[in-house]
């Protein structure tokens, strides 16, 4: 990929850097945040130590995925970022939809295709002189080799049709979608995205279980998210709202 080409194809005004390989683009941006003066997109052709939620790893292979991070400064404090990962999920899903690939969202931060994980979103923050830097890490599978799927240990999704698209144009489209949502989020918070997220909800109306380290915390019918990004669950005890945390959602068999 070419940074100048991506920047020229994008309407975001965001600076772009492309590097051949790194451990984690998010770790790189977090380390550089204090010296940044404007949003920056960092793309790695190959990432060897990608980060997932709750300390998990994100596995990828060179040339078969997009692995990138976007540093974005918010003037408000961390409390204003409630629901941000879900809004970013909307950005990715809507962008892929415009490119002809319909996907769904799984609370709190996964993009699914045919019920399998296609992309993951991880938001990490670090303090700024005035406000806070959010570093948004995204991994998107384009092609999934059999050996990589074996390493991951579960069925995962890919979008081989988009893999044939010009990578710079694909990356520019994703950047524009993310930047547009981030600018809107700065003014509205997550409330403006709740209905859009619910339209993309993979498990709306289905019985799901909320797990924490394998233990079932709650079970009920998934009723979407509220204006704060909390998952609404209709169970035996009535409707409850679950805040984002180290929990995993599973559909009841």
Do residues 97 and 190 lie in contact, with contact meaning Cβ atoms separated by under 8 Å?
no
Active-site hit among 32, 117, 196, 209: 117
51 catalytic per annotation:
no
Q: CA 169, 174, 179 angle in degrees (round to 5)?
A: 125
H or E element that contains 4 = helix 3-9
For the chain, the C-alpha Rg in angstroms (whole number) is 18
117 catalytic per annotation:
yes
DSSP conformation class of 229: S
DSSP of 138-203, one letter per residue? EEEES---HHHHHHHTS-B---HHHHTS-HHHHHHHHHHHHHHHHHHHHHH-GGGGHHHHHHTBTT
Residues listed for the chain: 253
CATH fold of the domain at 207-251: SH3 type barrels. (2.30.30)
Tokens encoding 57: 């790893």
In angstroms, rounded to a whole number, what is the distance separating the alpha carbons of residues 186 and 132?
A: 12
Active-site hit among 53, 73, 104, 167: 53
pLDDT at position 201 over 70: yes
Q: What is the pTM of this model?
A: 0.87
53 catalytic per annotation:
yes
Q: What is the pLDDT of residues 45-103, one digit of tens each?
A: 888 875 554 444 444 555 678 999 999 999 887 788 999 999 999 999 999 999 999 99
CATH class of 3-199: alpha beta
pLDDT of residue 56: 47
Domain ranges within the chain, ordered by starting residue? 3-199, 207-251
In angstroms, rounded to a whole number, what is the distance separating the alpha carbons of residues 15 and 40?
A: 5
pLDDT of residue 247: 57
Q: What is the pLDDT of residues 127-149, one digit of tens each?
A: 888 889 999 999 998 876 545 44
Do residues 117 and 157 lie in contact, with contact meaning Cβ atoms separated by under 8 Å?
yes
Active-site hit among 98, 115, 250, 252: 250
């Amino acid at each position: 990929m070419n940074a100048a080409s991506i920047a020229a194809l994008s309407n975001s005004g965001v600076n772009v850097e492309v590097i051949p390989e790194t451990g984690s683009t998010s770790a790189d941006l977090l380390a550089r945040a204090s010296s940044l003066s404007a949003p920056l997109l960092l793309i790695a052709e190959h990432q060897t130590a990608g980060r997932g939620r709750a300390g998990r790893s994100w596995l990828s292979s060179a040339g078969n995925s997009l692995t990138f991070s976007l540093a974005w400064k918010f003037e408000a404090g961390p409390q204003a970022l409630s629901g941000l990962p879900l809004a970013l999920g909307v950005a990715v899903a809507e962008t892929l939809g415009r490119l002809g690939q319909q996907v769904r969202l799984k609370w709190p931060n996964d993009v699914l295709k045919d019920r399998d994980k296609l992309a993951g979103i991880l938001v990490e923050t670090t303090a700024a002189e005035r406000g806070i830097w959010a570093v948004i890490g995204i991994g998107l599978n384009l092609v999934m080799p059999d050996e990589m799927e074996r390493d991951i240990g579960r069925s995962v999704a890919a979008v081989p049709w988009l893999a044939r698209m010009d990578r710079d144009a694909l990356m520019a489209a994703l950047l524009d979608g993310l930047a547009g949502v981030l600018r809107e989020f700065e003014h509205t918070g997550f409330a403006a995205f709740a209905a859009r997220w619910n339209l993309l909800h993979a498990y709306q109306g289905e019985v799901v279980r909320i797990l924490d380290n394998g233990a079932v915390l709650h079970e009920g019918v998934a009723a979407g998210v509220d204006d704060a990004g909390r998952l609404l669950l209709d169970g035996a005890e009535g409707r409850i709202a679950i805040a984002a945390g180290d929990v995993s959602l599973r559909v009841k068999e």
